[in-house]
């Protein structure tokens, strides 16, 4: 890891390949690519979209375009070229040869960011695993890199098959070791989660596209000081804090890693486990930057990932976990936009508009979350021995006790009947007392 150094001057090139289906238009993609580069401290010397009519299998761009990139690099003193797309190992090597500079593609860039941000043991292991997986596919070119790491054997000459084989074996062994370590870490986390599941607090997960404002909202609601910045992938490891809500004494709010279009497959797999926590939530708040021109495309990306996680079954089907859409950055809308969108939001129970930055709308959001967590409550009856102080106290503390009456006697014990409103989660908790 760490192939890109902070402060490196780079050219950001966004290929626009004819006939390719993109989720975002070229300009938005270029903007996002710049955001990714900035997130790792790269200095953008210049950036542009480059239309590609026919993909050259060994170079991606046409020869003339490559020469133009080289000249632009020289003129701008750029030592690195970021290509916002997937490069095959061959394309990457040939481009590096022709440009006489380091070339990094979108996957490589995202891996770098994740490598820098991962803070927990699990996050670091996941990223290293993803990185090795990526490197493994790229051995044609990266043998020198590994050679240098191992130190000193380079003078024996070119890599040759055996060298690549040896490198492959080394990577495979390292990956196997990492997988074992990960399994261990996850086992421990599994225990934690189990413990939390038994804890009588509902979990609310904030999910959404990167930079949508999840951490800003999290900080506002919890008074925590999670890193919230105008940076893509500011958050990598999930964070949790307790909050209180109208009608819900205590809930756990969880901030999660942001999504992005074309997340490298290696990372989707790597972060699946972390995001699986989301599927165990009682409510998902899908935080959207409603002021962003690509907001709709970003929403579809997020829904796609939620689909992959199994939260959403298919179009039209009810999600396994209820989802509340949070239209954030309301303060950035102009009056016309705000008026138009307000109409849509007001008519839809599943949407709430707010500004995490100014706090406008946050109280309404809390009300809605409280409602959603308690809405599916139903009235149930329990008959308990009057000596069962623990469970009786629990019902009074957590449920809405509508009626309490004498219920006769059984085996010398006096019984009481309770008519209580409980939501399914509370009912489950009561059962397991």
Ligand X SMILES: Nc1nc2c(ncn2[C@@H]2O[C@H](COP(=O)(O)OP(=O)(O)OP(=O)(O)O)[C@@H](O)[C@H]2O)c(=O)[nH]1
Span of 71-79, 108-116, 170-178, 324-332 interacting with ligand X by CB under 6 A? 324-332
In the complex, least distance from residue 93 CB atom to ligand X, rounded to whole angstroms: 31
- Out of ligand X, Mg ion, none, what residue 328 binds, judged by CB under 5 to 8 A for its kind, is ligand X
Interface with ligand X (CB under 6 A), residue from 61, 114, 134, 233: 233
- Residue 216 in contact with ligand X, rule: CB under 6 A: yes
- Residue 363 in contact with ligand X, rule: CB under 6 A: no
- Residue 234 in contact with Mg ion, rule: CB under 5 A: yes
Span of 116-124, 184-192, 230-238, 292-300 interacting with Mg ion by CB under 5 A? 230-238
Which C-beta is closer to ligand X: that of 107 or that of 374?
A: 107
Which C-beta is closer to ligand X: that of 69 or that of 110?
A: 110
Interface with ligand X (CB under 6 A), residue from 11, 52, 285, 356: 356
- Residue 229 in contact with ligand X, rule: CB under 6 A: yes
- Residue 92 in contact with ligand X, rule: CB under 6 A: no
* 419 phi/psi in degrees, rounded to 5: -110, 115
In the complex, least distance from residue 258 CB atom to ligand X, rounded to whole angstroms: 2
- Out of Mg ion, ligand X, none, what residue 126 binds, judged by CB under 5 to 8 A for its kind, is none
In the complex, least distance from residue 234 CB atom to Mg ion, rounded to whole angstroms: 4
- Residue 328 in contact with ligand X, rule: CB under 6 A: yes
- Residue 42 in contact with Mg ion, rule: CB under 5 A: no
- Residue 210 in contact with ligand X, rule: CB under 6 A: yes
SS (H, E, C) the chain: CCCCCCCCEEEEEEEEECCCCCCCCHHHHHHHHHHHHHHCCCEEEEEEEEEECCCECCCECCHHHHHHHHHHHHHHCCCEEEECCCCCHHHHHHHHHHHCCEEEEHHHHHHHHHHHHCCCHHHHHHHHHHHHHHHHCCHHHHHHHHHHHHCCHHHHCCCHHHHHHHHHHHHHHHHHHHHHHHHHHHHHHHHHHHHHHHCCCCEEEEEEECCCCHHHHHHHHHCCCCCCCCCCCCCCCCEEEEEEECCEEEEEEEECCCECCCCCHHHHHHHHHHHHHHHCCCEEEEEEECCCCCHHHHHHHHHHHHHHCCCCCCCCCCCCCCEEEEEECHHHCCHHHHHHHHHHHHCCCCEEECCCCCCCCHHHHHHHHHHHHHCCCEEEEEEEECCCHHHHHHHHHHCEEEEEEEEEEECCEEEEEEEEEECHHHHHHHHCC
Interface with Mg ion (CB under 5 A), residue from 235, 239, 256, 294: 235
In the complex, least distance from residue 137 CB atom to ligand X, rounded to whole angstroms: 27
Span of 88-96, 208-216, 339-347, 364-372 interacting with ligand X by CB under 6 A? 208-216
Which C-beta is closer to Mg ion: that of 78 or that of 127?
A: 127
11, two tokens: 């050219």
Residues 255-274 that bind ligand X (CB under 6 A): 258
- Residue 216 in contact with Mg ion, rule: CB under 5 A: no
The b/e string for 46-79 (b: 16+ C-beta within 10 A; e otherwise) is ebebbebeebeeebbbeeebbeebbebbeeeebb
In the complex, least distance from residue 225 CB atom to Mg ion, rounded to whole angstroms: 12
Number of residues that bind ligand X (CB under 6 A): 23
Residues 156-215 that bind Mg ion (CB under 5 A): 214-215
Interface with ligand X (CB under 6 A), residue from 124, 138, 214, 368: 214
Instruction: Report the interface residues with ligand X, using CB under 6 A.
Output: 208, 210-216, 228-230, 232-235, 258, 328-329, 331-332, 355-357
């Amino acid at each position: 890891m760490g192939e890109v150094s902070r402060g490196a001057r780079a050219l950001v090139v966004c290929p626009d390949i004819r006939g390719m289906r993109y989720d975002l238009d070229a300009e938005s993609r270029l903007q996002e690519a710049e955001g990714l580069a900035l997130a790792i401290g790269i200095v953008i010397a210049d950036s542009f979209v480059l239309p590609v009519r026919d993909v050259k299998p060994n170079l991606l761009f046409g020869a003339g375009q490559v020469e133009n990139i080289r000249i632009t690099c020289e003129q701008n003193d750029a030592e690195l070229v970021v290509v916002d797309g997937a490069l095959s190992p061959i394309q990457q090597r040939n481009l590096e040869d022709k440009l006489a500079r380091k070339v990094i593609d979108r996957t490589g860039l995202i891996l770098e960011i994740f490598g820098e941000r991962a803070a927990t043991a699990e996050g670091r292991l996941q990223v290293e695993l993803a990185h090795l997986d990526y490197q493994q596919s790229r051995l044609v070119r990266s043998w020198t890199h590994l050679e240098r790491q191992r130190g000193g054997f380079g003078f024996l000459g070119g890599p040759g098959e055996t060298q690549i084989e040896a490198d492959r074996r080394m990577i495979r062994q390292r990956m196997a070791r990492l997988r074992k370590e990960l399994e261990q870490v996850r086992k421990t986390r599994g225990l934690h989660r189990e413990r939390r599941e038994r804890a009588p607090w509902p979990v609310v997960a904030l999910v959404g596209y990167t930079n949508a404002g999840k951490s800003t909202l999290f900080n506002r609601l919890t008074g925590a000081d999670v890193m919230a910045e105008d940076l893509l992938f500011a958050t990598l490891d999930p964070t949790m804090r307790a909050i209180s809500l109208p009608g819900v004494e205590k809930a756990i709010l969880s901030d999660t890693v942001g999504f992005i279009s074309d997340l490298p497959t290696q990372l989707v797999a790597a972060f699946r486990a972390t995001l699986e926590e989301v599927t165990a939530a009682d409510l998902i708040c899908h935080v959207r930057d409603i002021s962003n021109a690509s907001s709709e495309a970003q929403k579809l990306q997020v829904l796609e990932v939620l689909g992959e996680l199994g939260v959403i079954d298919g179009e039209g089907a009810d999600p396994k976990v209820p989802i509340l859409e949070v239209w954030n950055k309301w303060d950035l809308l102009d009056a016309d936009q705000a008026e138009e969108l307000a109409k849509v939001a007001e008519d839809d129970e599943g949407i709430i508009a707010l500004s995490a930055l100014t706090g406008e709308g946050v109280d309404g959001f809390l009300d809605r979350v409280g409602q959603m967590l308690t809405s599916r409550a139903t009235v149930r009856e329990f008959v308990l021995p009057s000596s069962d102080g623990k469970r009786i106290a629990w019902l009074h503390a957590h449920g809405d006790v509508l009626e309490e009456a004498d219920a006769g006697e059984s085996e010398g014990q006096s019984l009481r009947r309770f008519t209580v409103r409980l939501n399914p989660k509370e009912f489950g908790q009561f059962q397991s007392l």
